[in-house]
Amino acid sequence: MKLKVCGMNHNPIEVAQLLPDYLGFIFWEPSTRYFDGAMPDLPKSIKKIGVFVDASIDDVLQKVETYNLDGVQLHGKESPEFCNELKNRFNVISNKSEKSHEIPQSQDSFRNDKLEIIKVFSIKDNFDFSILKDYEEVCDFYLFDTKGKLPGGNGYTFDWSVLNNYPSTKPFFLSGGIGLETASELQAFLKSPASKKCHAIDVNSRFEIQPGLKNSEELKEFKRLLTSNFEPNTDN
């Protein structure tokens, strides 16, 4: 099971030493975790994910280039058409850059071969999974979070049993209020049929000392639990 730590700001290098699979950087200005600093030098194994809320495609692509992002997490009302255009424009820019050698070989390549697109859907008590149908071909992952006042980082969970009805084969991230105190519930979820396509666990506010400042010791313990005790359901 992979781990994503989102809302990085004040201590990304410290958290990166724990080697999570993903680090999330929020580019939505109203957020108390808004990231506008210099991207630190991170281990190659960690994928950098930019989090956006109804941003323009130009803004998303500019941030992808500036921060050498490996993926984007779309947390607003982005349509399937938006996701498709984003993917296509990224591919055009990437191919042009590769052919013209615009980026020195000594730099990390902007535009890896692919930009991962994670589309977020918020859940309260239930969810209409038919909404996913039009996103199947234009996104790489879904992320299910708790519906709240803010687009993420609300600090509480939704009823994970809703995902028993998940109809897709696309892998998803599980998010929303996950912390050490929810470890037993998470373990039960990961042994349930609902977790069959769960790709990663996304954590944020429950591991914070203050917004954007993560408690690395608690994250270390959570990662230990995730890798040693939480065995996901793999039944067909």
The domain in which residue 52 lies consists of 2-228
- pLDDT level of residue 232 (50, 70, 90 thresholds): low
Taking alpha carbons only, the member of 109, 128, 131, 126 closest to residue 64 is: 109
235 is a domain residue: no
Q: Which of 29-43, 96-110, 165-179, 222-236 has the lowest mean pLDDT?
A: 96-110
Is 108's pLDDT higher than 50? no
- The burial of 100, by beta-carbon neighbours within 10 Å (0-12 exposed, 13-18 middle, 19 or more buried), is given as exposed
203 is a domain residue: yes
**CA dist., res. 2 & res. 176, Å (int):** 16
Taking alpha carbons only, the member of 106, 124, 227 closest to residue 176 is: 124
CA–centroid distance for 160 within its chain: 18
Instruction: Evaluate whether 233 touches 195 at the Cβ level (below 8 Å).
Output: yes
50 is a domain residue: yes
**Model pLDDT for residues 55-65, shown as the tens digit of each residue:** 999 999 999 99
Mean pLDDT in residue range 90-96: 82
User: Helix, strand, coil % (nearest 5) of the chain?
Assistant: 35, 20, 45
Is 154's pLDDT higher than 60? no
Mean pLDDT in residue range 17-21: 97
Percent of the chain with pLDDT over 70: 86
Is 104's pLDDT higher than 50? no
Task: Show the CA angle centred on residue 124, arms to residues 194 and 50, nearest 5°.
Answer: 80
234 is a domain residue: no
9 is a domain residue: yes
99 is a domain residue: yes
**Model pLDDT for residues 68-92, shown as the tens digit of each residue:** 999 999 999 999 999 999 999 998 8
Taking alpha carbons only, the member of 91, 51, 84, 88 closest to residue 67 is: 51
116 is a domain residue: yes
Is 120's pLDDT higher than 80? yes
Structurally, how many domains does the chain consist of? Answer: 1
DSSP bridge pairs for 41: none
Is 193's pLDDT higher than 50? yes
We report the CATH number of the domain holding residue 39 as 3.20.20.70
For residue 114 the two structure tokens come to 């692919």
